Structure 1
Amino acid sequence: MDYADQQIPVFTALNDVFGGLVPSLANIERWNGLAEEFERRYGRKPSYIARAPGRVNLIGEHIDYSLFGVLPAAVEPDILIACGTHGEESCTVVVDNLHPKYDRKIFEPATTSVSKPTISGDAAHTEEWHLDINKKELRWESYVKAGYYGVLERFFPAATTLSSGANQGPVPVDLLVTGAVPAGSGLSSSAAMVVASTLAFLAVNGKLDPSNVDKITKGELVQMSMENEKRVGVNSGGMDQAASVMSDPASALYISFYPELKASPVPLPHGVVFVCANSLVVSDKAVSAKRCYNLRVVETLVAARVLARSLNVPLGAEERVTLREVVGRSVGEDIQGGKVLSADALAEALQSIAKKLDVLRSRDGAAVAAGRSGVTLEEMIEMSGLQRDVFQKVYLSWIEVEATEFELYKRTKHVLLEALRVLQFRQICLDASTAADSAGTGDMGVYQKKLGKLMNESQESCAELFECSCPELDQLTKLARSAGAFGSRLTGAGWGGCTVSIVAEDEVDGFIAKIKEEYPPYKGLEDGALKEAIFATRPGRGACVLKL
């Protein structure tokens, strides 16, 4: 069974949460402490604790929203939310956070009347849920509200709920949140928060009970969480949510998004450990989205249309095609007819099309003479073949961006070659597993070096082509290589956050000690903060719920 088709695990013992391993004393204390604090604050024990881990993306940065596959793994740091119902008749939500800087928040979903056109052209009025989320002033409770939205929309349609009475509506909820995934670290604290919130609201409303005929799968939870996070202002491609939900404790995860969401395990070579190091530069996707994340989404989407035109790939008049779809169609892929490219065929197509990207460069003589490849908005519209009003509707009406030049060539070259690196990384891991099965673990160094080389190439591409690195990330990756890492790269959206390095198991302690000593921002950090800033990790379990 594909991981996307599996049910959300609901456990009754903490040992099961950690994949059958005996949890550490620190984990037991943390979970018990959360339950006890919930009882102290709310006067009763919680019914559930929802857990969603952060993730580290081993390779495949900024290609998920172009629908290319990625290769992440869950990490041990996670978001926990203890939850239970309270006695009020309304569907009020009370949410507290163990971190003292976050105040208690109380909110209740409201309904709003929306006018929608019918087939006949007349306007029909319907009721929809509304939760106030300020995208410009991002607050921690916005992620909780975002998680609630999907549950309300799927299980409690506003019009039906209003007409059937309070007994058919969502229950009142108390929540207590604690998090070990540093915000803005590139380990996807935002996605973990949205996934955990969504799970908490599902659990307290009985939607994860084995007897419930409308249970959702892991794949459906990923889709819900993706849509939920967009309400905070980030147009996520789905990797973060998929990794948080579907990861396996025994392997990394190859996640493909086209033609449908699928996830399969990828065993890592024996003796491989990944070390995450926080640059301590906060990367907040939602705050900088217009200039960074969302801008890259628009650049890659417009580039896909321009590239499709140059390759004579048929397009719908207002189709917002992705680069993955263009690559497939250019070599005869037929999704409707069941003809989907194999990994080898996709890799061959990527290599071929990556040589045909000059059409995405600026055609302005002055810009070319100055060595610039970016295009202006006017150039971009002309290259798309669309009228200005249609271009605005297709590419700019649904997302906010700020730019004077758009780097279609650089972004596309990164995306295509990064997608190729993911396929190569996956194959090396599979080859290593086959070699270990036939000849024992032996010397896995050759495979580790190959993986490291791909990671280094990814970092160079992120820095120079996608321009999502920063000086601190560049410095950390260089220090990591000099400290003995086979390879090192940024992980997550970039513009701050974490690096991930591949290190031999027997060298991890010395590697971490050297980075602590040589990375200037780590000097003066207390032991606890330092352990959170840099740590070794292996793949961990995805999201789950503990029933108390």
Structure 2
Amino acid sequence: MAAQLPIPVYTSLETLYADLGTATNHAARWNDLAEEFQKRFGRRPTHIARAPGRVNLIGEHIDYALFGVLPAAIERDILIACAPRDPSLYPRGDVNAHNLHHKYTPQSFTPTKKRSNSIGSGPPEEEVHVEEWHLDIDKKELRWESYVKAGYYGVLNRFFPTSATELEHPIPVDLLVTGTVPAGSGLSSSAAMVVASTLVFLAANDKLDGVTKGTLVEMSMENEKRVGVNSGGMDQAASVISTPASALYVTFYPRLAATPVALPGSSASSTSSPRAVFILANSLVTSEKAVHARTRYNLRVVETLAAARILALHLGLSVGPRERLTLRQVVGRLGQEPEEGWAEDDESLRTTLRLAVKEVERLRPASADQDGQEGVTLEEMVKLSGMPKAEFREVYLDWIDVEATHFQLYKRAKHVFTEALRVLQFREVCARQDADDALKELGDLMNASQTSCSRDFDCSCAELDQLTKIARDAGAYGSRLTGAGWGGCTVSLIAEDNVSSFIEKLTAAYPPYNNLKGDALSEVIFATKPSSGACGMWLSSFRLRSLISPTTLSIQVRRVGREIELM
């Protein structure tokens, strides 16, 4: 299983960025980062961690309902260089964090020990989530270093327990961050930042032994909650587990699992189907997932959870008095899924999902209210749940920050079930590989996903709707939003030989692109192929040298103990 593999440590940038054709450009970035680190801190970095952004090909907003999704890591990434500081001169665990982007000011912070509840006070011990370390993170005014702190948090609480007989302390470090994943674009820059931060703190404190890719995904999921986002795990799994040249089928129930999925025409020997390329286009509408979480992302989490309970009751399924089950669990109980889960080739999930799409009509309100809402009020939702109001608030609302007058249970559940079906259909088409109409079938599924995201899940926006329509008119097989939505990027499926003409047409037809040229344009619209996941290079020295020509990079490597030296 891919999730059980160790975190890779590469010896070559050419291996790391395999099949992407731009290793030279990446080598310059890594070298510049190492040289700038030495200028700022007076020594070379000992570790550099990389975490890529991701594009979700299909499967939007269903990961936290525990349905499978199909993301892929992209070439653009976050890099964090690190080196220890002298423990005799700086507080234990002190962090001095810099960012290469000029708009982000340097920050320093030191974790402190947080007192747990005194015996005999507060709620019972089993209801208290004890945090043994504390770092201030302002969830309302989100700053770049908050994501660095979030990654550090999990490492501290997992590996540095204050209750240990012989207290171990984290080492003080200097950090330098750089990245090419545009913030607020829907390409998961926040998850990439948290993954890279978690990884670099693990490496700097020599805590990577026994940490698998799955462990890093789980830690990063928990860590990102520190900034106020209840993430379902797709972003972190794609950033950590992805492999080159493949999408990733990620499932979360009954356990985390990831399987590579080759795209049609991805094989060099493929002749009957054109090679698939994805074009990412930024709508230039910034989507700050954490800032708007209470009315958007977090609200959708609550709506899908409440819908799951209420639908289960309508269907006569077993539901615990305080159980907060997901829509995926509803499908499992509806289809009498075995405890170990259905096998990947079992048709039961697809069959039961089709049934669930019919049964979700039970959640449709009898009539829209005077505001045209198809949702229910809080009072109506509580009544439908069969729970006392105080208990409902404790189970469904007190743990997450949301704001709404109406809760759209029917629309959200309908999207989740139909989108989960589209993921399975997308994967099935990919498995056929050389079918002549494979790309058209995939495009149709992407288009249906966009319609559902816009109408039923209400996570699109006017600019995304416009951009996806332009993409289809310009020759895309399919085009849809990717990421949380409400702005950010679209992903369009096209044939590889149409990349240049497609970008030209999109640039001419989407008004916000009209005055963009050169690097400014390539920052907002670009082709991508699936990349490898999070990794590290642990360095005793870092120097890259072109040995053949300015455009062909060769990297010499030798091992020095447990470290890698690039000459």
Same fold by TM-score greater than 0.5: yes
SS at match of 1:62: coil
Question: What do residues 294-351 of structure 1 show as CA deviations (whole Å, max 9, x unaligned)?
Answer: 0000000000000000111101110000000011111111316x66685521111111
> Contact between 2:186 and 2:483, CA under 8 Å: does it hold in 1?
yes
Question: What do residues 193-216 of structure 1 show as CA deviations (whole Å, max 9, x unaligned)?
Answer: 0000001101111123xxx4xx21
Go from structure 1 to structure 2 and tell me whether the alpha carbon gap of 1:506 and 1:21 turns closer, same or farther (over 3 Å shift).
Answer: closer
Report whether the alignment pairs 1:91 with 2:86.
Answer: no
Please, which of 217, 220, 227 is the counterpart of residue 222 of structure 1? 217
1:297-308 paired onto structure 2 within 5 Å = 297-308=301-312
Match of 1:69 in 2: 68
Q: CA–CA distance in 1 between the matches of 2:70 and 2:408? A: 25
Q: CA–CA distance in 2 between the matches of 1:285 and 1:394? A: 23
1:484-503 paired onto structure 2 within 5 Å = 484-503=475-494
Match of 1:334 in 2: 338
Please, which of 136, 139, 143 is the counterpart of residue 140 of structure 2? 136
Go from structure 1 to structure 2 and tell me whether the alpha carbon gap of 1:535 and 1:428 turns closer, same or farther (over 3 Å shift).
Answer: same
Q: CA–CA distance in 2 between the matches of 1:243 and 1:204? A: 23
Match of 1:190 in 2: 190
Please, which of 232, 242, 249 is the counterpart of residue 247 of structure 1? 242
Richer in helix (by share): 1
> Contact between 2:331 and 2:353, CA under 8 Å: does it hold in 1?
yes
SS at match of 2:97: strand
Go from structure 1 to structure 2 and tell me whether the alpha carbon gap of 1:16 and 1:7 turns closer, same or farther (over 3 Å shift).
Answer: same
Go from structure 1 to structure 2 and tell me whether the alpha carbon gap of 1:45 and 1:384 turns closer, same or farther (over 3 Å shift).
Answer: same
Q: CA–CA distance in 1 between the matches of 2:345 and 2:385? A: 29
Q: CA–CA distance in 2 between the matches of 1:10 and 1:530? A: 33
Please, which of 514, 537, 541 is the counterpart of residue 528 of structure 2? 537
Letter of the structure 1 residue corresponding to residue 18 of structure 2: G
SS at match of 2:312: helix
Match of 1:16 in 2: 15
Q: CA–CA distance in 2 between the matches of 1:305 and 1:404? A: 20
Please, which of 348, 352, 355 is the counterpart of residue 352 of structure 1? 355
Match of 2:178 in 1: 178
Identity %: 60
SS at match of 1:52: strand
> Contact between 2:13 and 2:26, CA under 8 Å: does it hold in 1?
no
Q: CA deviation at 1:527?
A: 1.4
Q: TM-score, normalised by structure 2?
A: 0.89
Q: CA–CA distance in 1 between the matches of 2:289 and 2:239? A: 17
> Contact between 2:66 and 2:252, CA under 8 Å: does it hold in 1?
yes
Question: What do residues 432-484 of structure 1 show as CA deviations (whole Å, max 9, x unaligned)?
Answer: 2xxx4xxxxxxx54000000000000000000000000010001000000000
Q: CA–CA distance in 2 between the matches of 1:505 and 1:102? A: 37
Match of 1:377 in 2: 378
Q: CA–CA distance in 2 between the matches of 1:356 and 1:380? A: 18
Letter of the structure 2 residue corresponding to residue 345 of structure 1: S
Question: What do residues 38-94 of structure 1 show as CA deviations (whole Å, max 9, x unaligned)?
Answer: 000000000011000000000000000000000000101100000110113422100
In terms of mean alpha carbon deviation, does 121-130 or 3-12 score higher?
121-130
Letter of the structure 1 residue corresponding to residue 204 of structure 2: V
In terms of mean alpha carbon deviation, does 109-118 or 261-270 score higher?
109-118
Match of 1:390 in 2: 391
> Contact between 2:373 and 2:406, CA under 8 Å: does it hold in 1?
no
Q: CA–CA distance in 1 between the matches of 2:148 and 2:499? A: 36
Go from structure 1 to structure 2 and tell me whether the alpha carbon gap of 1:486 and 1:129 turns closer, same or farther (over 3 Å shift).
Answer: same
Go from structure 1 to structure 2 and tell me whether the alpha carbon gap of 1:26 and 1:410 turns closer, same or farther (over 3 Å shift).
Answer: same
Report whether the alignment pairs 1:80 with 2:79.
Answer: yes
Letter of the structure 2 residue corresponding to residue 223 of structure 1: E
SS at match of 1:479: helix
Letter of the structure 1 residue corresponding to residue 355 of structure 2: S
SS at match of 2:284: coil
Letter of the structure 1 residue corresponding to residue 446 of structure 2: M
Match of 1:107 in 2: 109
Question: What do residues 504-532 of structure 1 show as CA deviations (whole Å, max 9, x unaligned)?
Answer: 11111100111111111112224112101
SS at match of 1:221: helix
Please, which of 323, 329, 348 is the counterpart of residue 327 of structure 2? 323
Match of 1:439 in 2: none
In terms of mean alpha carbon deviation, does 319-328 or 148-157 score higher?
148-157
Letter of the structure 2 residue corresponding to residue 207 of structure 1: K
Match of 2:512 in 1: 521
Q: CA–CA distance in 1 between the matches of 2:20 and 2:187? A: 24
Letter of the structure 2 residue corresponding to residue 505 of structure 1: E
Match of 2:549 in 1: none
Q: CA–CA distance in 2 between the matches of 1:72 and 1:431? A: 19
Q: CA–CA distance in 2 between the matches of 1:545 and 1:472? A: 37
Please, which of 441, 453, 477 is the counterpart of residue 468 of structure 2? 477
Letter of the structure 2 residue corresponding to residue 428 of structure 1: V
1:202-213 paired onto structure 2 within 5 Å = 202-208=202-208, 212=209
Q: CA–CA distance in 2 between the matches of 1:501 and 1:267? A: 17
Question: What do residues 177-230 of structure 1 show as CA deviations (whole Å, max 9, x unaligned)?
Answer: 00100000000000000000001101111123xxx4xx2100010000000000
Go from structure 1 to structure 2 and tell me whether the alpha carbon gap of 1:117 and 1:422 turns closer, same or farther (over 3 Å shift).
Answer: farther
1:54-65 paired onto structure 2 within 5 Å = 54-65=53-64
Please, which of 255, 259, 262 is the counterpart of residue 254 of structure 2? 259
Q: Which consecutive residues of structure 1, in runs of 5 or more, have no partner in the other structure? A: 437-443
Q: CA–CA distance in 2 between the matches of 1:382 and 1:334? A: 31
Question: What do residues 364-386 of structure 1 show as CA deviations (whole Å, max 9, x unaligned)?
Answer: x6x36875321000100011111
Q: CA–CA distance in 1 between the matches of 2:442 and 2:119? A: 53
Go from structure 1 to structure 2 and tell me whether the alpha carbon gap of 1:486 and 1:23 turns closer, same or farther (over 3 Å shift).
Answer: closer
Q: CA deviation at 1:23?
A: 5.0
RMSD: 1.9
Report whether the alignment pairs 1:280 with 2:284.
Answer: yes
> Contact between 1:69 and 1:419, CA under 8 Å: does it hold in 2?
yes
In terms of mean alpha carbon deviation, does 353-362 or 137-146 score higher?
353-362
Please, which of 286, 297, 300 is the counterpart of residue 296 of structure 1? 300
Q: CA–CA distance in 1 between the matches of 2:303 and 2:131? A: 35
Q: Which consecutive residues of structure 2, in runs of 5 or more, have no partner in the other structure? A: 266-274, 540-567
Go from structure 1 to structure 2 and tell me whether the alpha carbon gap of 1:406 and 1:127 turns closer, same or farther (over 3 Å shift).
Answer: closer
Question: What do residues 489-546 of structure 1 show as CA deviations (whole Å, max 9, x unaligned)?
Answer: 0000000000000001111110011111111111222411210100001110000001
SS at match of 2:475: coil
Q: CA–CA distance in 2 between the matches of 1:307 and 1:323? A: 9
> Contact between 1:361 and 1:375, CA under 8 Å: does it hold in 2?
no
SS at match of 1:114: coil
Q: CA–CA distance in 1 between the matches of 2:225 and 2:444? A: 34
Letter of the structure 2 residue corresponding to residue 322 of structure 1: T
Q: TM-score, normalised by structure 1?
A: 0.92
Question: What do residues 389-423 of structure 1 show as CA deviations (whole Å, max 9, x unaligned)?
Answer: 11001100100111000000000000000000000
Go from structure 1 to structure 2 and tell me whether the alpha carbon gap of 1:127 and 1:233 turns closer, same or farther (over 3 Å shift).
Answer: closer
SS at match of 1:459: helix
Q: CA–CA distance in 1 between the matches of 2:344 and 2:279? A: 34
Letter of the structure 2 residue corresponding to residue 251 of structure 1: S
Go from structure 1 to structure 2 and tell me whether the alpha carbon gap of 1:470 and 1:296 turns closer, same or farther (over 3 Å shift).
Answer: same
Match of 1:169 in 2: 169
Go from structure 1 to structure 2 and tell me whether the alpha carbon gap of 1:475 and 1:15 turns closer, same or farther (over 3 Å shift).
Answer: same
Match of 2:29 in 1: 30
